[in-house]
Amino acid sequence: MKSAVFRILLSALCISLVCLTAWPGLAAPRTQKKFSVSPMLGGYVFEGDQDLDDDLTYSLGLGYNLTDSWSTEFVLNYFNTDYENGRSYDVDGLLYRLDALYHFMPQSSLVPYLAGGIGGITVDPDRGDSETDLLLNYGIGLKYFLTDSLALRGDLRHVFAFGDPENNFIYSAGLTYLFGSNQHPAPPLAPKDSDKDGVIDANDACPDTPAGAPVDKVGCPLDSDRDGVPDYRDRCPNTPESLPVDQHGCSVDKDGDGVPDIHDQCPDTPAGMPVDAAGCMTDSDGDGIADQKDKCPGTPEGLMVDEDGCPISLTLAIEFDVDKANIKPRYQTELQRGAAFIRQYPGSRILIAGHTDWTASDAYNLALSQRRADSVRNYLIENFGIKSERLEAKGYGEAFPIADNTTAEGRQRNRRVELSVYALRKK
């Protein structure tokens, strides 16, 4: 039996080698090959104490490729060995397996794989009866593709037979040849759409539209607000029609303050200056002097100011005693100076502002400063003939100190009255 099986396998090997050079499908790509044939030579190792000598094994595999990664393979393995247990005789063995193979990196030149399957083993000694048992096998392998159709192959398997011998290893090397085209007819070519905007080139009036830009029915970028800037570049997509726009589709803003020229009441604002909704520099206290130039940013509303934004005012050198609002006789000359200041602005109303130090509560100081302002107002009306409707007295408490409240001198200076001019006569 040994020589007969050997001759059969040798013949199969020769036929396979001839096919490698003569098969007409050699030029087809690897991913389009259906079948494979793998003649291989290796060693059969009997694990443990099985009284059988390790020997050569010859194999031939026939495979079918299910996908790029998965395939099935039917394999025949033949070995001939010696049985040594007091007496010696030949033993022929034949394995037949159906395996599944999973290939990693199937498109590369070097392709490792995992394999496993089920089959049977028939052992036929020169003396005694033959025996056939079920087997399982698993292992790993490696294919190195010389061309798309031809690869060198190495394989290592562990074989577990449900009989004797039960545990074996097979290592083998050889060739794998792929053949049989799996190619399908090419689908008909779709109409060309070079810019991939959904409008074929034959109908596309704008064939170079950037990828992803929404287009109209003739393939041109949409311009919803009709400002000449397509929507995909338009940062201001709702610009009113007919307004001039910049390259980003936004209304022209020459001074760059964020307010379009069409709405900008101050179109020449210096660069970097914060502006209000009208495009003019902010004026928090409404005195007509922009905050950036205003040295007195907290000016009460309506007062006349100078070019620095500070009220046109006179501080009377009247110092009040603690918790007092009465005017001492020695300040007659200072009040005459105040009356003269008022007469310089005959068409304006005058604000008489009272101030305190911080030695009492906010509420108390506010009331005290009001009494001091009222005291000066009454004095000016009664002694200098100034009309009462021109004078407005208002107390500000400790809100506007001019000196350090932590010193006696500073607190004395803060107990004062100031005269300021209103810009317009109040109605």
Determine the pLDDT at residue 28: 38
Name which of 24-28, 131-135, 143-147, 332-336 the model is least confident about.
24-28
Determine the pLDDT at residue 358: 92
Determine the pLDDT at residue 10: 40
The 3-state DSSP class for residue 272 equals coil
Gap between the Cα atoms of 218 and 223, Å rounded: 13
Q: How confident is the model at residue 186 (pLDDT cuts 50, 70, 90)?
A: low
Fold of 2-181: Porin (2.40.160)
Name which of 32-46, 143-157, 249-263 the model is least confident about.
249-263
**Percentage of residues of the chain with pLDDT beyond 90:** 37
pLDDT in tens, 391-423: 999 999 999 898 999 999 999 888 889 999 887
Instruction: Please provide the DSSP assignment of 87-132 as one string.
Output: SEEEEEEEEEEEEEEEESSTTSSEEEEEEEEEEEEEEEESSS--EE
80 contacts 91 by C-beta, under 8 angstroms: yes
Name which of 77-91, 246-260, 358-372 the model is least confident about.
246-260
| Edge-to-edge strand ranges of the sheet holding 350-354 | 313-316, 417-421, 350-354, 391-395
Name which of 200-214, 269-283, 385-399 the model is least confident about.
269-283
**Percentage of residues of the chain with pLDDT beyond 70:** 84
Which of 123-127, 224-228, 245-249, 274-278 has the highest mean predicted lDDT (pLDDT)? 123-127
Determine the pLDDT at residue 328: 87
Indicate the helix (H) or strand (E) that contains 38.
strand 33-46
Determine the pLDDT at residue 35: 94
The residue among 207, 208, 233 whose CA lies nearest residue 222 is 233
Determine the pLDDT at residue 291: 75
Residues 6+ apart with CB under 8 A from 86: none
* 236: Cα separation from own chain's centroid: 24
Determine the pLDDT at residue 301: 76
pLDDT in tens, 78-111: 988 887 766 677 888 899 999 999 999 998 999 9
Determine the pLDDT at residue 16: 42
- Mean per-residue pLDDT, 266-292: 73
Gap between the Cα atoms of 235 and 225, Å rounded: 11
Q: Which CATH superfamily is domain 313-421 in?
A: OmpA-like domain (3.30.1330.60)
Only one residue has tokens 């004797």, namely 164
Q: Judging by beta carbons within 10 Å of its beta carbon (0-12, 13-18, 19+), is residue 101 exposed, middle or buried?
A: buried
| Mean pLDDT estimate for the chain | 81
Is residue 331 pLDDT above 70, yes or no? yes
Determine the pLDDT at residue 406: 93
If one compares 278 and 338, the residue with the highest pLDDT of the two is 338
Residues 6+ apart with CB under 8 A from 282: 274, 275, 276, 290, 291
pLDDT in tens, 51-75: 677 889 999 999 999 998 999 999 9
Enumerate the CATH 2.40.160.20 domain ranges in the chain, comma separated: 2-181
Is residue 44 pLDDT above 60, yes or no? yes
- Mean per-residue pLDDT, 134-154: 94
**b/e burial code for range 384-394 (CB count within 10 A of at least 16 → b):** eebeeebbbbe
Is residue 426 pLDDT above 60, yes or no? no
Enumerate the CATH 3.30.1330.60 domain ranges in the chain, comma separated: 313-421
104 to each of 18, 107, 109, 141, how far by Cα in Å?
29, 9, 11, 11
